[in-house]
């Protein structure tokens, strides 16, 4: 499909194919190519899209379109030096706190709009009008217009990037121009059906179809989001470090408690062993000394065994005349004997004697 050109030049000014009446059909339009100045023919048929065509070999279509687009905007601003720029709203969707963000991360996490769309949208730039003192068409190294430079004062400049519809011409993606505040202006889709005066009014006097590409306020807003994001990231890192330190402290406290309990248990074992040794010593001393105590106490034998503090029953050996616990007696007790009996040693000797 061959692209059709809606732009022509007549008397040094850009005209649209819609400006041409049926009386100016064909060569009567008195128009030329905005790029090569070759004579144009206005084709106003009823079947095909109305358009301009070279009366001979055509020149570079894309360069011709971009030349006409910028020239049209230039003329519009010469006629009415008041340019309405769009508002700019930003929405920050957030970035993972697990990683430190870069400015590119912040940009990828943002959406921008020319008007408020949701509650979370923040107004970065309000729509307004700037009165232009000077307009220049900037051309790239190949001589193709790529920006309009609007000057309000020597220190205040604004760049405009004009974007024709893709159905007409494939233009580069708008990018910031020479570190200047930059606005992309998107041309209306149906350029074949709009008059030059109408499109000039749309381009200059309306905020529609315009979008900020770069602005110091946008950069400041992004830097603010970056600062807040990385402050939150640092806070998160500190929280993680605090949680880690708390876990380590809890582990250390648990280990200290376990160690202390083990030491206390070991000390208790030592005390228990010491008490057991002391009790065993006291028992041995008791078993050693108790016969003497009984012998000194009882000059006359009692009628029943003597029970000591440890629950041992003591009996008196009638052969060796000594007191012994029941465990060391061969024969003891009885209805008539009371606490009398024979110790194990004397019992063996008496058996041997027999």
> Is the same domain home to 72 and 191?
yes
- Distance separating alpha carbons of residues 156 and 171, to the nearest angstrom: 27
- Distance separating alpha carbons of residues 354 and 352, to the nearest angstrom: 5
**pLDDT-based confidence at residue 354 (cuts at 50, 70, 90):** very low
pLDDT digits (tens, 9 = 90+) for 299-337: 899 989 999 999 999 999 999 999 999 999 999 877 677
> Is the same domain home to 324 and 191?
no
Identify the CA nearest to 110 among candidates 94, 97, 88, 125: 94
Domain assignment of residue 27, yes or no: yes
Of the three residues 184, 214, 244, the one that is the final residue of a domain is 214
Domain assignment of residue 17, yes or no: yes
> Is the same domain home to 192 and 318?
no
SS (H, E, C) 299-338: CCCCCCCEECCCCCEEEEECCCCCEEEHHHEEEECCCCCC
Is the pTM higher than 0.85? The answer reads: no
pLDDT at 2 over 60: no
> Is the same domain home to 196 and 329?
no
Q: What is the pLDDT of residue 328?
A: 94
> Is the same domain home to 19 and 150?
yes
Of the three residues 214, 244, 259, the one that is the final residue of a domain is 214
Domain assignment of residue 328, yes or no: yes
pLDDT digits (tens, 9 = 90+) for 179-234: 999 999 999 888 888 999 999 988 888 898 999 999 999 999 999 999 999 999 99
Domain assignment of residue 131, yes or no: yes
Q: How far is CA 113 from CA 51, 164, 180, 219, in A?
A: 34, 20, 20, 15
> Is the same domain home to 160 and 65?
yes
Domain assignment of residue 195, yes or no: yes
Which position has the higher pLDDT, 158 or 2?
A: 158
> Is the same domain home to 329 and 209?
no
Of the three residues 161, 189, 214, the one that is the final residue of a domain is 214
> Is the same domain home to 304 and 155?
no
Domain assignment of residue 57, yes or no: yes
pLDDT at 291 over 50: yes
Domain assignment of residue 283, yes or no: no
Task: Give the strand pairing for 110-113 and 122-125.
Answer: unpaired
- Distance separating alpha carbons of residues 183 and 160, to the nearest angstrom: 5
Render 143-175 in DSSP notation, one character per residue.
S-EEEEEEEEETTEEEEEEEE--TTT--PPPP-
Contacts for 333 with CB less than 8 Å, ≥ 6 apart: 305, 315, 339, 341
> Is the same domain home to 317 and 194?
no
pLDDT digits (tens, 9 = 90+) for 239-260: 999 999 999 999 999 999 999 9
pLDDT digits (tens, 9 = 90+) for 81-105: 999 999 999 999 998 998 999 999 9
> Is the same domain home to 63 and 182?
yes
Domain count, the chain: 2
- Distance separating alpha carbons of residues 243 and 241, to the nearest angstrom: 5
The answer to whether the Cα torsion of 199, 204, 205, 207 is positive or negative is positive
> Is the same domain home to 26 and 171?
yes
| Domain of 156, in residue numbers | 7-86+127-214
**How many other CB atoms are there within 10 angstroms of residue 313's CB atom?**
16
Q: What is the pLDDT of residue 261?
A: 95
pLDDT digits (tens, 9 = 90+) for 10-65: 999 999 999 999 898 999 999 999 999 999 999 988 778 899 999 989 999 989 99
> Is the same domain home to 49 and 195?
yes
Domain assignment of residue 107, yes or no: no
pLDDT at 168 over 50: yes
């Amino acid at each position: 499909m061959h692209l059709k050109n809606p732009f022509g030049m007549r008397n040094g000014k850009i005209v649209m194919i819609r400006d041409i009446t049926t009386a100016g059909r064909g060569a009567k339009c008195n128009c030329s190519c905005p790029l090569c100045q070759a004579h144009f023919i206005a084709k106003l048929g009823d079947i095909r899209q109305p358009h301009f065509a070279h009366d001979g070999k055509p020149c570079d279509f894309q360069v011709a379109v971009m030349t006409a687009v910028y020239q049209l905007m230039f003329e519009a601003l010469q006629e009415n030096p008041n340019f309405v720029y769009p508002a700019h709203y930003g929405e920050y969707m957030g970035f993972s706190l697990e990683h430190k963000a870069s400015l590119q991360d912040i940009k990828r996490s943002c959406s921008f709009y020319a008007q408020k769309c949701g509650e979370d949208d923040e107004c970065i730039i309000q729509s307004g009008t700037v009165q232009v003192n000077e307009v220049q068409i900037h051309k790239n190294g190949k001589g193709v217009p790529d920006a309009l430079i609007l000057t309000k004062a020597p220190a205040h400049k604004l760049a405009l990037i004009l974007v024709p519809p893709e159905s007409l011409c494939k233009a580069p993606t708008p990018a910031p121009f020479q570190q200047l505040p930059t606005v992309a202006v998107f041309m209306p889709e149906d350029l074949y059906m709009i008059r030059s005066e109408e499109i000039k009014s749309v381009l200059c006097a309306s905020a529609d179809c315009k979008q900020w590409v770069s602005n110091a306020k946008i950069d400041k807003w992004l830097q603010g989001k970056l600062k807040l994001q990385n402050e939150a990231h640092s806070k998160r890192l500190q929280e993680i470090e605090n949680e880690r330190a708390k876990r380590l402290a809890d582990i250390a406290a648990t280990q200290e408690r376990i160690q202390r309990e083990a030491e206390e248990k070991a000390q208790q074992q030592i005390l228990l062993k010491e008490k057991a040794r002391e009790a065993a010593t006291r028992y041995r001393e008791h078993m050693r000394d108790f016969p003497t105590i009984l012998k000194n106490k009882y000059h006359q034998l009692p009628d029943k065994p003597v029970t000591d503090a440890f629950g041992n029953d003591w009996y008196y050996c009638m052969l060796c005349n000594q007191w012994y616990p029941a465990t060391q007696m061969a024969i003891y007790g009885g209805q008539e004997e009371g606490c009398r009996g024979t110790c194990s040693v004397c019992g063996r000797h008496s058996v041997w004697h027999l």
